[in-house]
Amino acid sequence: MKQYLRRKIKQFQDIKFRRKLIITYIFVGVIPIIVLGTFCYSKSRHQLIEREKKNIQDYMQQAVGTLNNQMQIYNNLSDYLSYNQSIAQVVGYPYKSYYEMYQQFTQDLDPLLASLKYFHNDVNQVTIYTSNDIVKHDNTIAPMCEIEKSSWYQAVKGSKQILWFADSETKNAYSCRTMPKFEKTDSDGILYIKVDYEALFDSFQSMSSSNYGVFVVDQNDSIVYEYQKFDKENQNLKLSYQQFHHQPLNVYTVMHTEAAYDNWTVYVYKPNKLLLLDVKQMIFGIVLVALVCILISIFAVTFISKIMVSGIEELTAHMAKVEGGHMEIQVTSESKDEVGELIRGFGKMINEINRLIKEVYESKITQKEYEMKALQAQINPHFLYNSLSLINWKALEAEQPDISRITLRLSSFYRTALNKGKNTLKIRDEISNVKAYIDIQLMMHDYEFDVEVDADEDIMEYETLNLILQPLIENAIDHGIDLLEDRRGRISIIGKREEDNIKLIVEDNGVGMTKEKADSILTLGSKGYGVRNVNERIQLYYGKEYSLQVDSQVGEGTKITICIPVIS
Distance CA 87, CA 62 (A): 36
Strand order in the sheet with 141-143: 141-143, 123-130, 187-195, 172-182, 163-167
3-state secondary structure of 260: coil
Residue 527: its pLDDT value, please?
53
pTM here? 0.49
User: With bands split at pLDDT 50, 70 and 90, how would you rate the model's confidence at 378?
Assistant: very low
User: With bands split at pLDDT 50, 70 and 90, how would you rate the model's confidence at 158?
Assistant: confident
Q: Please state, for a pLDDT cut of 70, what percent of the chain lies above it.
A: 82
Interval 150-155 mean pLDDT = 88
Closest CA to 277 of 214, 226, 230, 213: 230
User: With bands split at pLDDT 50, 70 and 90, how would you rate the model's confidence at 43?
Assistant: confident
3-state secondary structure of 267: strand
Strand order in the sheet with 223-229: 223-229, 212-217, 265-271, 252-258
Distance CA 252, CA 271 (A): 4
- Residue of 501 and 388 predicted with greater confidence: 501
Q: Write the pLDDT tens digit of every residue in 517-543.
A: 888 888 755 555 578 888 888 888 888
Closest CA to 216 of 182, 264, 148, 260: 264
Task: Tell me if 30 sits within 8 A of 232, measured CB to CB.
Answer: no
Distance CA 457, CA 431 (A): 11
Q: Mean pLDDT highest for which of 13-27, 29-43, 147-161, 272-286?
A: 147-161
Distance CA 295, CA 79 (A): 70
Q: Write the pLDDT tens digit of every residue in 387-409.
A: 566 676 666 667 777 777 777 66
For residue 254, the cross-strand partners are 269
Interval 541-561 mean pLDDT = 90
Residue 318's identity, in one-letter code, is H
Q: What rounded mean pLDDT belongs to the chain?
A: 80
pLDDT at position 324 over 90: no
Interval 39-50 mean pLDDT = 76
Q: Write the pLDDT tens digit of every residue in 77-123.
A: 989 888 888 888 888 777 777 778 888 888 888 888 888 888 888 89
Distance CA 435, CA 431 (A): 6
